[in-house]
Structure 1
């Protein structure tokens, strides 16, 4: 195939302006390519910003851990951010660290949280009855028998109840949150936190504790059952300080503290009966 000869220069000159619009110069080509590169960079930056915003909004967990203690066991845990946990007997706790929050789910049991301050990452503890948000503090959370009890040792916490109500607790205060079969109950009045955290020192402190609650507390430290034979015994108030390591000795001491009789069975279980 033979190509026709190119047009003469004078004929091209007559159409120079039109050709310049159709055929850009090398400098124009470079400028357009540069603009496209900038546009691609801006688009990539925008996409990265959108992805980061979406990631922050979803806030997926980047590190998870599970902690548990057996009956009668206590455990100290150091967390990656410098916070500290002390787990009491029979505790199950899940941890999930994300970009914006440090979240813990206390399924059952009890733990003391010593929180390392981080203004960009909230420290929140969830239980079936409440959500506890740290404000820079040391606090105790107990979740047992459909009740959550929160005690503040240092600093302050916000406690969000099941009905959406919120209470701020200061040093030395404690409160209980319950969820009944009917409408959720309101947050209780603040109480002393001293007895709640005595377990860290291996002590069980009773401040007019009903016998029924003491039986529930003793059960946390032994595998064999302990129960009351008569429901009327549950409300008898008891006070005193005892060693958790000698919980069986406390059971034997109960007849001197309340009108009860201790019946020990061959399977290790204990029944408390009214004294005769």
Structure 2
């Protein structure tokens, strides 16, 4: 961590959900997905959501965890849920299915336990952006970094090097020349060392992507502890990129630099890209979840330019290009289905 001032951290920390808010959010999630959910309950949910910023944060995290829950086995979670959901938070007058109960406990435990690690590093970062936000930061040497949606970085400048640790999200780097101090972006999987000026680094769940806009970048796998071998590296020129995993780094591949940085201007440009990939990308800029079954839309591809600052409009544009419909079940849940 550097001595550069952190921004907006006090407010972010104040909005971090307590366990009570997470329990309430779990109960709302189960109620809203029950077949007999009423309009009155939906209205009450909206009112609860607007009562406190921490409520929205807790519910948004549940939506983002929903993708893998179809494979959850319900029986082991039943007793645990009875211990976690206190009586005042349990649904009144409704008999919940085993799967719904499992859904609640999985969300509660996943969000509450998971938030203690990922959220902590996000809140303690030198600089962050919220969902859908982009932010430009000028560094002491007049280099500039632009943070994309829901990103976090730590800055470490010394007399020997300039180091940016990308904790999550994506960053566009514009490097001021300083031959005496290398400029390096670091993630868990590897590093991107500037041999030129402008490049993008994106941290994904299990990989890091590096794309070069101008000049040259050296991308390397991280050197493993106790290893005596030099880390494996590739040299990237303009309009080239690579993917770095824990045990693998791809050879340079051609990329579209303009499409890679479209988010800086608030646009997503795609050319014959799968609908599933487009929806996943739009979800990064959206409060809440875009749900779909990949097998149902696997045959659909899309080309076009979509606004990232209005994902509702972007989704509606997709319905004009493709045979799909979109249903909005809550302000935080859009479901995409083929016609």
1:212 and 1:96 map into 2 onto residues whose CA distance is: 37
- Give the secondary-structure state (helix, strand or coil) at the position aligned to 1:111: strand
* Cα shift readout 1:186-214 (whole Å, capped 9, x = no counterpart): 44633222211111122111122222221
Give yes or no for the alignment of 1:168 onto 2:235: yes
When residues 214 and 171 of structure 1 are mapped into structure 2, their CA distance, relative to the original with a 3 A threshold, is same
Change (3 A) 1:208 1:145: farther
Runs of 4+ in 1 over 6 A off after TM superposition: none
Query: Against the structure 1 CA distance between its residues 62 and 91, is the aligned structure 2 distance closer, same or farther, given a 3 Å change threshold?
Result: closer
Counterpart for residue 256 of structure 1: 320
Q: Distance in 1 between matches of 2:2 and 2:335?
A: 48
In the alignment, structure 1 residue 98 sits paired with structure 2 residue 165: no
**1:62–1:266: structure 2 CA closer, same or farther, 3 Å change rule?**
closer
- The DSSP-based 3-state class of the residue aligned with 1:213 is helix
Counterpart-to-counterpart distance in 1, 2:233 and 2:152: 25
Aligned pairs for 1:38-117 (under 5 A) are 63=3, 66-117=126-177
2:192 is equivalent to residue 132 of structure 1: yes
CA 167–124 in structure 1, closer or farther in 2 if over 3 Å, else same: same
Q: Structure 1, residues 53-104: CA drift from partner, whole Å, max 9, x if none?
A: xxxxxxxx87456110001111111101111111111111111112211111
Query: 1 CA distance for matches of 2:199 and 2:324?
Result: 35
- Unaligned 5+ segments in structure 1 are 1-60
TM-score, normalisation: structure 1 = 0.70
Question: 1:226: which partner in 2?
Answer: 290
Q: Which residue is equivalent to 1:4?
A: none
C-alpha displacement of 1:235:
6.2
* Matching residue within 203, 208, 212 for 2:267: 203
Which of 260, 269, 274 does residue 333 from structure 2 map onto?
269
Find the aligned partners of 1:213 and 1:94 in 2 and give their Cα distance: 29
CA distance in 2 between counterparts of 1:99 and 1:147 reads 30
Q: CA deviation at 1:232?
A: 4.5
The structure carrying a bigger helix percent of its residues is 2
2:204 to 144, 149, 158: 144
Instruction: Mark the structure with the bigger radius of gyration.
Output: 1
Shift of 1:234: 4.6
> Does 2:183 align with 1:123?
yes
Query: Using the alignment, how far apart are the partners of 1:162 and 1:102 within structure 2?
Result: 17
- SS of the equivalent of 1:238 reads strand
Question: Contact between 1:101 and 1:121, CA under 8 Å: does it hold in 2?
Answer: yes
Q: d(CA) in 2 for partners of 1:165 and 1:273?
A: 43
- Report the counterpart of residue 94 of structure 2 in structure 1: none
Stretches of structure 2 lacking an aligned partner (at least 5 in a row) = 6-125, 224-230
What TM-score comes out, normalization by structure 2 length? Answer: 0.58
Distance 1:192 1:245, change over 3 A: same
User: How many residue pairs are counted as aligned between the two chains?
Assistant: 212
Deviations 1:209-232 (A, max 9, x none): 222221221111111111213434
TM-superposed CA distance for 1:169, in Å, is 1.3
